[in-house]
Amino acid sequence: MPATEFTFLTVDGHGRPLEPGSRASIRSRCMKGVNVRQDSRRSKRKARKASETIAATESLSKNIESPEIASCQVTSCGPLSKSLQVRTDELGFDSSRLPSTAWRLVVKFNALLDVAYPLETSFENIDPQEYSMIDHLTLLNDNKTLLESIFLATYTVDDLCSGTKLSPRSQRILCTILSSLNRSLGYASGQQSYTTIFIILILLFAAESFRDFDAVSIHLDGLRKLLELRETKPVPLDSKLLFKIQQVDLRMSLATGRPLYFPFHYYYPQAPAGIIRPPSVIHWLMVHPALMACYQTLQALSNHANQYRCSTLKKCLDWFYFQSQVSTGQTLLIGIGNGHLPVVSEALRLGMLAFLSTLSRSPTRKAHLPIFASQLEECCLAMKQEQDPHKPLLIWLMLMGCISTIDTSGWISSAWSSSVPTDLSWEAVQKVVVEIPWIHMIHDEPGERNYRHLQARRDDCVS
């Protein structure tokens, strides 16, 4: 009979209980149900209580697994598909066994992913909704812990829209996931499973959303150990999944000042060429070779993404190339942060880190990066003293900082008012930012929103 309760014991490195009374607790658990008369009053009373508990649980599950989508979440994640036609013969199992709640859940989860990872949905030649639906349904059929994890991801967005705390419903699911995950990690198959890493990525999403840096750190450390174990596996970790992990790693480093957990630096024979324009950018880069390499790489990636939108010949994004370039860029930019760069070069470094931190995003609110926000503030205030030729860089830095983490109701309003002309149009701003890393499909909409908000707050600020 499967266990419905767990007793947690403190053990030493050999699995032996440490606390007195632990052995008695183990014996008590092992003897439960032994020498029990099925027709006794105690057995009948226990059976009646069990049936009442099952009925209550089923009623609760109906309420939990069919939540109304909050209006806040709909506006954050975009409209959900009313129907999603999936070729069930490709699923590899009998999809009729899945409850309707699982289908609705995956549609909701896919909408969340569309917002969180815009590059993934825009640079795939396949129909992203159809195939992600197939992938997730297949995984749900294989792994019930993943089903709980996807519930946790969607509930996290609901909780953030209605408040700032993890709801009791989400807490119960989180405890279930952690218990199942710990059991799975006791086996080699669980340690090297793609699904295990995917579940931990969802736990990272929830922890980061609620700004629990300690939990994020624990999950990242666990993932690092799992990736070390996977080095012996013939098939490497999927580049797309590694990119998502490293996005959280970067934001964790920017938030706390800790080193990267995954400082992967990939070496290439030569950097992209022919992309440094206008010539004034060169003076910001010459102070450090790594800064030059990062600018070339990120500007090439931006150009590729922006040209892709306008091209009729759609080329699927090479995720290995993309992930390795992004990983190298963030590793170098974090690494040279301990040096003393000129203020203009530091502005470019911080702006590129802000750019990298926005390649994925929360469906509900900006990332909370307190240490990075302080660095941006210090740099922006220092940049105000620079000459006019550096104004385009300052405008880009302030907008990219606002897209990433800066609260527009704070110090940035006065810095903007004293640095940016009143009559500067959004069209003029777009001509400025195109010369520095900027991906239209990611940065245009939040960039324009922050620009208009800062321009509107001029009257409230004293220069």
- The tens digit of pLDDT for each residue in 312-333 reads 655 667 888 889 999 999 999 9
pLDDT of 68 strictly over 50: no
Q: What is the mean pLDDT of residues 229-250?
A: 82
Phi, psi for residue 315 in degrees, rounded to 5: -105, 130
Q: How far apart are CA 216 and CA 460, in angstroms?
A: 38
> Within a 10 A sphere around the Cβ of 201, how many other Cβ atoms?
18
In terms of Cα–Cα distance, which of 299, 434, 369, 435 is closest to 291?
299
Residue 268: predicted pLDDT: 58
Residue 50: predicted pLDDT: 54
Q: What is the pTM of this model?
A: 0.76
String of b and e for 351-380 (b: at least 16 CB within 10 Å)? bbbbbbbbbbbbbbebbbbeebbebbbebb
Amino acid at position 414, single letter: S
String of b and e for 411-443 (b: at least 16 CB within 10 Å)? ebbbbbbebbeeeeeeeebeebbebbbbbbebb
DSSP character at residue 423: T
Residue 289 confidence class, pLDDT cut points 50, 70, 90: confident
Mean pLDDT score across all residues of the chain: 77
Residue 459 confidence class, pLDDT cut points 50, 70, 90: low
pLDDT of 231 strictly over 50: yes
User: Count of residues for the chain?
Assistant: 463
Task: For residue range 433-458, list pLDDT tens digits in order.
Answer: 888 899 999 999 999 999 999 999 88
- 3-class secondary-structure state, position 87: coil
Q: What is the mean pLDDT of residues 35-52?
A: 63
Residue 318: predicted pLDDT: 80
pLDDT of 70 strictly over 70: no
pLDDT of 161 strictly over 70: yes
Residue 132: predicted pLDDT: 53
Q: How far apart are CA 406 and CA 373, in angstroms?
A: 6
Q: How far apart are CA 210 and CA 343, in angstroms?
A: 33
- Residue 246: which region, alpha, beta or left (left: phi > 0; alpha: psi -120 to 50)? alpha
